[in-house]
């Protein structure tokens, strides 16, 4: 495989964003349809609500305060359940009791990048599933440590790091940088550091964008509009 067939995809997301979970699944499907292109995927942090306290908030009250109308919230959830089913996601919004602060989850995802090939991807997938399909509180250190174990990380190291402020500033600075780049919503897929695909686009749209970026590298000239 030539260097032109390799691209980097930075996924800016928050693990409590249902559209990001959909985006992850759609990206996976897009990459399966592009066997000749090797993509190196990196997960980058974003917080939909950094004001949530470390202990989290009661989710139902929190969501009702955001949407005001319970029927509207139910409609949003029902739509996501339908979309998720298509992608193999079993959203269970009724199981979620806590709206967590995700800073520690993002610290864990950051550390996973240095824990071996595929570990960060596996961890991101686990955290999405734990929250949206199992209703786990992914702001809880015990939940994060167990996710780290399942992803193949050193849990003793993870547990000790979570008890400190390690990489808090780095994660926060990454989020600030994303905002300065104009990223105000997630997911956002940054292709080879040059092009941004915003939102949970369908797999075909993502595949087309990735294919065009790979073609640009091969031709040495821009092709993506």
Q: State pLDDT tens for residues 69-113.
A: 999 999 999 999 999 999 999 999 999 999 999 999 999 999 999
**How much is the mean pLDDT over the chain?**
95
Burial of 43 (0-12, 13-18, 19+ CB in 10 A): buried
Q: In this predicted structure, what is the pLDDT of residue 3? A: 57
**Gyration radius from the chain CA atoms:** 18
Average pLDDT over residues 182-187: 95
- Domains of the chain are 3-219 (3.40.30.10)
Give yes or no for residue 221 having a pLDDT over 60: no
Whole-structure pTM value: 0.94
How far is residue 219 from each of residues 91, 150, 209, measured CA to CA in Å?
42, 41, 15
Q: Between 6 and 99, name the one with better pLDDT.
A: 99
With CA atoms as reference, report the closest residue to 113 among 214, 197, 21, 8. Answer: 8
Contact 20, 128 (CB under 8 A): yes
Tell me the pLDDT tens digit for each residue of 60-69: 999 999 998 9
215-223, long-range: CB within 8 Å, 24+ apart, which pairs? 217/3, 217/4, 217/7, 217/192, 218/2, 218/4, 218/5
Q: How far is CA 31 from the centre of its chain?
A: 16
**Model confidence band, residue 1 (pLDDT cutoffs 50, 70, 90):** very low
Give yes or no for residue 218 having a pLDDT over 90: no
Cα–Cα distance for residue pair 160/140, rounded to 1 Å = 14
Residue entry with tokens 């996973």: 112
Q: In this predicted structure, what is the pLDDT of residue 217? A: 86
Contact 112, 41 (CB under 8 A): no
Average pLDDT over residues 118-125: 98
Q: In this predicted structure, what is the pLDDT of residue 225? A: 47
Cα–Cα distance for residue pair 225/222, rounded to 1 Å = 8
131-134, long-range: CB within 8 Å, 24+ apart, which pairs? 131/15, 131/16, 131/96, 131/100, 132/18, 132/21, 132/84, 132/89, 132/91, 132/92, 132/93, 132/96, 133/89, 133/90, 133/91, 133/92, 133/95, 134/92, 134/95
């Amino acid at each position: 495989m030539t260097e032109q067939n390799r691209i980097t995809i930075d996924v800016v997301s928050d693990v409590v964003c249902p559209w990001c979970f959909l985006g992850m699944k759609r990206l996976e499907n897009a990459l399966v349809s592009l066997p000749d292109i090797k993509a190196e995927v990196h997960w980058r942090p974003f917080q939909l609500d950094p004001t949530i306290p470390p202990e989290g908030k009661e989710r139902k009250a929190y969501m009702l305060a955001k949407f005001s109308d319970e029927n509207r919230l139910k409609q949003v959830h029902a739509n996501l359940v339908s979309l998720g089913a298509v992608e193999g996601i079993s959203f269970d919004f009724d199981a979620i009791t806590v709206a967590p602060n995700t800073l520690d989850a993002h610290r864990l995802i950051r550390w996973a990048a240095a824990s071996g090939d595929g570990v960060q991807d596996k961890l991101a997938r686990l955290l999405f599933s734990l929250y949206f399909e199992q209703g786990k509180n992914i702001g809880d250190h015990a939940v994060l440590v167990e996710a780290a174990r399942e992803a193949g990380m050193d849990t003793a190291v993870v547990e000790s790091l979570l008890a400190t402020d390690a990489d808090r500033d780095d994660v926060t600075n990454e989020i600030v940088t994303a905002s300065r780049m104009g990223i105000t919503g997630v997911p956002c897929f940054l292709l080879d550091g040059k092009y941004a695909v915003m939102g949970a686009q369908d797999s075909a749209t993502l595949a087309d964008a990735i294919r065009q970026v790979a073609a640009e590298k091969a031709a040495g000239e821009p092709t993506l509009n």
